[in-house]
Amino acid sequence: MNDKDFTKIFENTNALMYGHFILSSGMRSDTYFQCAKVLQHPKYLMMFGEILCNHFKSFGVEKVVSPAMGGIVLGTEVGRQLGVKTIFCERSEGNMKLRRGFSVKKGEKILIIEDVLSTGGSLKEVINLINNHDADIVGIGVVVDRSSSNIDLHKEFFSITKQVANIFDPENLPDTLQDIPAVKPGSNTIDV
C-alpha cells in the first residue's frame, strides 16, 4: 500500500477531515486526522497494528506505552500482537504521568505507539517521562506522520504513512481559514 491508499482509507472512514482545526499544540490546520474513526474498524486496527508489530518485532520490546487518548487503542493492539504488556500515560495537572498503577522499570525496553504525529509535543512528553524512569526506548511508531517538518524524536522512528497537512500559527492564518470557525476535535477535552 502507498500513501494514496492510506488516504483513501482515512477518507472512507471519515478519519480525515477538512476544515479549520485547533491542534492539541494550539496550532491550526486545514486538515485533521481523527484516527479513532479508522481504528474503530477491526480490520484497520489489526492491519495498522500488524504493520507496526512487524516493523518492531525484532527490537526486543518488553512493554508498549502510549499517550492517552489517541494512542491507547493502537498501542494495545500492537502490544497484543507482540505479546507484551501495554500501558498508557495521561496528562494530570498539565504533565504527562503514569497513573492507575502503571509503571516502567529501569532498563525495560519500551516501544512508544501513537496514532498521529503533528508537532511532536505529546510524544516528546512521553519520551521525557520514560527517560525519567531510566527505561530504554527502543522505538517510536505512529500511523500518520502529518508533521510539516522533520521532527527528531528517536533514531528508530517509524510511521506507516506520511500525509501532507498544513499547520499554521493561530496569529498568522491564511485567508482560506479566516472565516471558518475553528473546532477542536482532539482528545485534550472531553465533550459531555
Distance from CA of residue 31 to its chain's centroid? 16
Q: Which CATH class is domain 3-178?
A: alpha beta
pLDDT-wise least confident of 4-18, 146-160, 175-189:
175-189
Q: What is the mean pLDDT of residues 141-146?
A: 92
Q: What is the pLDDT of residues 2-59, one digit of tens each?
A: 888 999 999 999 999 889 998 877 889 888 888 889 999 999 999 999 999 999 999 9
Q: Between the CA of residue 80 and those of 49, 60, 72, 150, what are the distances in Å?
A: 9, 14, 12, 30
Give the pTM.
0.86
What's the confidence (pLDDT) of residue 191? 42
What's the confidence (pLDDT) of residue 120? 80
Q: What is the pLDDT of residues 162-174, one digit of tens each?
A: 887 788 898 999 8
Check if the beta carbon of residue 29 is closer than 8 Å to that of residue 168: yes
What's the confidence (pLDDT) of residue 192? 33
Q: Using DSSP bridges, classify how beta strands 157-162 and 136-145 pair: parallel, antiparallel or unpaired.
A: parallel
SS3 readout for the chain: CCHHHHHHHHHHCCCEEEEEEECCCCCEEEEEECHHHHHCCHHHHHHHHHHHHHHHCCCCCCEEEEECCCCHHHHHHHHHHHCCEEEEEEEECCEEEECCCCCCCCCCEEEEEEEEECCCHHHHHHHHHHHHCCCEEEEEEEEEECCCCCCCCCCCEEEEEECCCCEECCCCCCHHHHCCCCECCCCCCCCC
Q: Using DSSP bridges, classify how beta strands 167-168 and 28-33 pair: parallel, antiparallel or unpaired.
A: antiparallel
Q: What is the mean pLDDT of residues 130-142?
A: 95
Q: What is the pLDDT of residues 55-110, one digit of tens each?
A: 999 999 999 999 988 889 999 999 999 999 999 999 888 888 888 989 999 999 99
Q: Using DSSP bridges, classify how beta strands 136-145 and 63-67 pair: parallel, antiparallel or unpaired.
A: unpaired
Q: What is the mean pLDDT of residues 124-135?
A: 93
Separation of alpha carbons 83 and 75, rounded Å: 12
Higher-confidence residue of 146 and 132: namely: 132
Read off φ and ψ for residue 139, nearest 5 degrees. Answer: 180, 165
